[in-house]
Chains A and B, each alone.
Chain A
């Protein structure tokens, strides 16, 4: 066989030598090329396709999960910020309301005190007026009684029956004396 190869190598061109020695054959080579591409097509379609699709699906799921996680973290951070702001605003509102209530209560208290003072003053004034009226009435009654007693006394002392004019004059004189 070695002798045959040497003989072939000496007689034929290098390409022919390769063809004869290694069995390189044009139609078989072309058939194998076609075969090879068919093999690749079949492997891609039936072997790698489903596996790659699953890997891709998993990759996209992981990417989606990571994106969701980031979104959730962002939402959580936003939520914490919003909550903190809401709490701060509520505290501020509560403080403002308390202050307003305090101010309002003080004003109301002042108003009520003033009203009470006014009412008390009114009561005092009324009482004074009533007392004055009563004193005046008593005074008038006393004057009238005093006049009647003076007139009666004068009538008994003098023994004369006093006329209305006399009684009125004596009363006035007696009252003027008393009031002095």
Chain B
């Protein structure tokens, strides 16, 4: 039986093996840690991509909303369609109350992850950089830019920020008593002896739920990181299979797959966050559903 304390080690071995094999295959592998740009300030090259992605999003939104009209056209139409579709999707999932309350977060996180995933696929991102030799004489490669979601600090920041907000939203929607009851209290209408039997059962289920809640941000972190870093690394490895002049060729089909993966991962991250929130805020009466 594998003890829980060994799980992170297993994660490390599995994910670390990919770049390691790639490096041993004779070409530069993307480093898992984003290179720091300053020794004194906590800034790395994935942060540059973060702000480039924000700049792209803001620029797009500004152009789309420059001449807003009641009857939308062109970019405004596209921007409104994208935002409204996501809002309707979340509204259908969580109910209009929660969707309205949290759209600033879910809307931002979806488009932010999507843009970052696609920007990570721009040729040169993660592939243009400089070769390094450390003090032990080992050669390495540091890219000038790298996809923000291929940096664990970024994916962890998003996942743990959501986890914090999840607690805030869950408690503000249910109250502390309701929040704890939601996790530990028996569900259903048990009476008498059956209730006494079910209390320890549901308390145990609640304890498992707590572990699940604590694992969620870790799972969100590694799911996004693994998919995006894995995708970038796959493209990198495929390009190293052929002579440099033809390097684009084997990677080309996988670019289309990565476009799909980028969208799916943005959707999965947003969807999971929304479902986690819905689960804790679900009162089970479906009162709101009647309004739709």
| Chain A residues near B (Cβ < 8 Å) | 1-2, 4-6, 9, 14-15, 17-18, 21-25, 27-33, 35-37, 39-40, 42-44, 46-48, 50-52, 54-55, 57-58, 61
Interface: B24 (CB within 8 A): yes
Whether the pair B20, A29 counts as a contact (CB closer than 8 A) is no
Q: List residues of chain B with CB within 8 A of the CB of A32.
A: 47, 50, 151, 153-154, 156-157
CB distance from B117 to the nearest CB of A (A): 15
CB distance from B103 to the nearest CB of A (A): 8
CB distance from B275 to the nearest CB of A (A): 20
Whether the pair A23, B105 counts as a contact (CB closer than 8 A) is no
Interface: B256 (CB within 8 A): no
Q: List residues of chain B with CB within 8 A of the CB of A29.
A: 153, 156-157
Can you give 10 contacting A-B residue pairs, CB < 8 Å? A2-B21, A2-B24, A4-B20, A14-B7, A33-B161, A40-B112, A46-B62, A50-B61, A51-B79, A51-B83
Binds A, one of B10-18, B234-242, B245-253: B10-18
Pick from B9, B31, B61: contact of A23, CB below 8 A: B31
Please report the C-alpha to C-alpha distance between residue A6 and residue B20 in the assembled complex, in whole angstroms. 11
| Chain B residues near A (Cβ < 8 Å) | 5-9, 11-13, 15-17, 19-21, 23-24, 29, 31-34, 36, 42-44, 47, 50-51, 54, 57-58, 60-62, 64-65, 68, 70, 72, 76, 79-80, 83-84, 87, 103-105, 107-109, 111-112, 151-154, 156-158, 160-161, 225
User: Contacts A28-B42, A43-B58 hold; do A14 and B6 have CB atoms under 8 A apart?
Assistant: yes
CB distance from B182 to the nearest CB of A (A): 26
Whether the pair B108, A14 counts as a contact (CB closer than 8 A) is no
Please report the C-alpha to C-alpha distance between residue A32 and residue B49 in the assembled complex, in whole angstroms. 12
Chain A interface main SS type: helix
Whether the pair A55, B16 counts as a contact (CB closer than 8 A) is no
Pick from A6, A21, A51: contact of B65, CB below 8 A: A51
Whether the pair A51, B157 counts as a contact (CB closer than 8 A) is no
Q: List residues of chain A with CB within 8 A of the CB of B57.
A: 43, 47
User: Contacts A43-B58, A47-B57 hold; do A23 and B151 have CB atoms under 8 A apart?
Assistant: yes
Q: List residues of chain A with CB within 8 A of the CB of B151.
A: 23, 32
Q: Which residue of B lies closest to A10 (CB)?
A: B9
Whether the pair B47, A31 counts as a contact (CB closer than 8 A) is yes
Whether the pair A39, B65 counts as a contact (CB closer than 8 A) is no
Q: List residues of chain A with CB within 8 A of the CB of B104.
A: 40, 44, 48
Q: List residues of chain B with CB within 8 A of the CB of A57.
A: 70
Whether the pair A25, B153 counts as a contact (CB closer than 8 A) is yes
Query: Which interface residue of A5, A35, A52 has the most chain B CB atoms within 10 A?
Result: A35
User: Contacts A1-B19, A25-B153, A32-B153 hold; do A39 and B108 have CB atoms under 8 A apart?
Assistant: yes
Pick from B29, B42, B61, B112: contact of A39, CB below 8 A: B112
Please report the C-alpha to C-alpha distance between residue A30 and residue B50 in the assembled complex, in whole angstroms. 15
Whether the pair A23, B161 counts as a contact (CB closer than 8 A) is no
Whether the pair A42, B161 counts as a contact (CB closer than 8 A) is no
Please report the C-alpha to C-alpha distance between residue A2 and residue B11 in the assembled complex, in whole angstroms. 14
Please report the C-alpha to C-alpha distance between residue A23 and residue B229 in the assembled complex, in whole angstroms. 13
Pick from A5, A21, A24: contact of B156, CB below 8 A: A24
Q: List residues of chain A with CB within 8 A of the CB of B225.
A: 22
Please report the C-alpha to C-alpha distance between residue A40 and residue B157 in the assembled complex, in whole angstroms. 12
Q: Which residue of A lies closest to B21 (CB)?
A: A2
User: Contacts A17-B8, A31-B47, A48-B83 hold; do A24 and B153 have CB atoms under 8 A apart?
Assistant: yes
